[in-house]
């Protein structure tokens, strides 16, 4: 029997000494989600791990926005890296810009924390990953859930046979997003823009962690670990991309990973990933670093874990060789899912009777979707297999898609 793990402390920092001054960091994209990166950089700056050397934004931040005296700013990313002597670039910009910005940094010997999804297509991902590898710089992909101590702990439980033989892994994400969410940026809710791939959908962006975490718990993180992918992409909102979707990944080992997601839930819920075994299951609420082990002839065991920050892990990698938690090739399987969604037919609009607006709220809801998302994770089934009246047959990704 494996005892519940105690509350773990956050990952160790990189305490600088006389020979280890704080690493200069440039942040590309400091508004929107970039504010979280800015807060984290400030936290690590207070600990002497990094130093915010510059901010790259098309429109400079004001002191009121920044909350104090501003570092150097420029809309020219390359010039800013040169002038600041940055060692690390944190890239939190529109999805289609990731590859070119990453390669611009790599070409200057600057190491990277690249926000997820790392690219809008598998070809762009390979161009980025191969270019970064050729440049010899470190690159961390921003799947923060993969910094959770729960991931290796759950995999150890599975290896010990705590839930018997694994029969599949499910994932569920039921979130609410107002219609304004899809107007937050020109690329929001788009599959393509000006002839360039964007692929901003529920499974590829806001709930991408559910897909990546499920694949990590299965031990199927690399591109070659994927044997086949089925997708069902739908939308209630007036957008191009999917807001209600599910995917089933068949792994090279014959495993099955099914993830269902919606941004049109009746009530917002914590997303989770569930390992199904022949003698029990493990549920992992990845935003909370909390897991629940349930198995035959045992009481439920709740476990809480610490989390290693990915920028802190990158800094530790550069200063003392600590292994990176999320290097690019460990997200290859996730990028195969992105590619399958990119190549699938455009998401189907749900019929008018399948959704409604919430009175007094700027959002669309698909009645019953909360239960369907949970049922998909629980039974490893797609919406069409659960009898959703608006679902269509799954689209299968042809197997000839290259992993290189």
For the stretch 337-370, pLDDT in tens is 999 999 999 999 999 999 999 999 999 999 999 9
Which class is domain 23-144?
alpha beta
Nearest to 264 by CA among 244, 247, 240, 246: 244
Mean pLDDT of 290-300: 95
pLDDT band at 155 (very low <50, low <70, confident <90, very high): very high
Tell me the C-alpha distance between 126 and 116, whole Å.
15
Please say whether the dihedral angle defined by the alpha carbons of residues 227, 163, 329 and 190, taken in this order, is positive or negative: positive
Mean pLDDT of 197-218: 98
pLDDT over threshold 60, residue 57: yes
pLDDT in tens, 28-48: 999 999 999 999 999 999 999
Structure tokens at 19: 């020979």
CATH homologous superfamily for the domain 149-305+328-396? Dihydrodipicolinate Reductase; domain 2 (3.30.360.10)
Work out the number of other CB atoms within 10 angstroms of the CB of residue 290. Answer: 17
pLDDT band at 401 (very low <50, low <70, confident <90, very high): low
The model's pTM: 0.94
Tell me the C-alpha distance between 137 and 135, whole Å.
6
pLDDT band at 397 (very low <50, low <70, confident <90, very high): confident
pLDDT (0 to 100) of residue 20: 83
Where, residue-wise, is CATH 3.30.360.10 in the chain? 149-305+328-396
pLDDT band at 8 (very low <50, low <70, confident <90, very high): very low
pLDDT in tens, 266-285: 999 999 999 999 999 999 99
Where, residue-wise, is CATH 3.40.50.720 in the chain? 23-144
Question: For the chain, how long is the longest CA-to-CA vector?
Answer: 66
Contact assessment for residue 227 and residue 366, using Cβ atoms and an 8 Å cutoff: no
pLDDT band at 402 (very low <50, low <70, confident <90, very high): low
- Mean pLDDT, the chain, rounded, equals 94
pLDDT over threshold 50, residue 334: yes
pLDDT in tens, 214-246: 999 999 999 999 999 999 999 999 999 999 999
Q: Which residues contact 261 (CB under 8 A, 6 or more apart)?
A: 171, 172, 173, 174, 175, 202, 203, 207, 210, 244, 245, 246, 271, 373
Question: b/e map of 105-125 (b: 16 or more CB within 10 Å)?
Answer: bbebebbbbbbbbbbbbbebb
| Residue predicted with more confidence, 213 or 398 | 213
Q: Which residues contact 91 (CB under 8 A, 6 or more apart)?
A: 28, 29, 97, 98, 101, 102, 105, 112, 113, 114, 115
pLDDT over threshold 70, residue 286: yes
């Amino acid at each position: 029997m494996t005892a519940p793990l105690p509350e773990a402390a956050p990952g160790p920092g990189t305490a600088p000494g006389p020979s280890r001054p704080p690493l200069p960091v440039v942040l590309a994209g400091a508004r929107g989600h970039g504010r979280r990166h800015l807060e984290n950089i400030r936290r690590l700056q207070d600990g002497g791990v990094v130093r915010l050397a510059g901010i790259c934004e098309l429109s400079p931040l004001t002191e009121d926005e920044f909350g104090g005296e501003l570092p150097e700013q420029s809309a020219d990313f390359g010039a800013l890296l040169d002038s600041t002597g940055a060692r690390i670039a944190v890239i939190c910009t529109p999805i289609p810009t990731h590859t070119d910005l990453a390669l611009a940094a790599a070409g200057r010997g600057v190491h990277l924390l690249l926000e997820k999804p790392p690219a809008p297509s598998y070809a762009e991902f390979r161009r980025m990953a191969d270019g970064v590898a050729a440049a010899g710089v470190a690159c961390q992909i921003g799947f923060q859930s993969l910094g959770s101590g729960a991931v290796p702990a759950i995999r150890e439980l599975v290896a010990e046979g705590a839930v018997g033989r694994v029969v599949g892994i499910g994932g569920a994400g039921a979130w609410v997003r107002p219609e304004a969410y899809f107007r937050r940026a020109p690329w929001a809710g788009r599959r393509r823009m000006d002839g360039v791939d964007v692929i901003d959908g529920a499974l590829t962006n806001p709930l991408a962690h559910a897909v990546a975490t499920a694949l990590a718990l299965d031990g199927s993180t690399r591109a070659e670990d994927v044997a086949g992918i089925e997708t069902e992409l739908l939308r209630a909102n007036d957008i191009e991309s999917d807001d209600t979707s599910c995917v089933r990944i068949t792994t090279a080992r014959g495993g099955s990973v099914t993830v269902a997601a919606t941004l049109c839930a009746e009530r917002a819920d914590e997303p989770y990933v569930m390992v199904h075994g022949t003698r029990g299951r493990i549920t992992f609420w990845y935003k909370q670093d909390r897991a629940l082990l349930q198995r035959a002839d045992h009481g439920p065991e709740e476990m809480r874990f610490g989390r290693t920050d990915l920028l802190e892990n990158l800094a530790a990698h550069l200063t003392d060789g600590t292994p990176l938690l999320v290097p690019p090739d460990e997200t290859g399987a996730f990028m195969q899912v992105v590619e399958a969604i990119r190549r699938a037919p455009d998401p189907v609009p749900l019929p008018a009777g399948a959704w409604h607006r919430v009175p007094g709220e700027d959002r669309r809801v698909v009645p019953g979707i909360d239960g369907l998302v949970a049922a998909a994770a629980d039974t490893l089934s797609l919406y069409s297999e659960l009898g959703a009246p608006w679902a269509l047959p799954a689209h299968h990704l042809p197997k000839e898609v290259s992993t290189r």
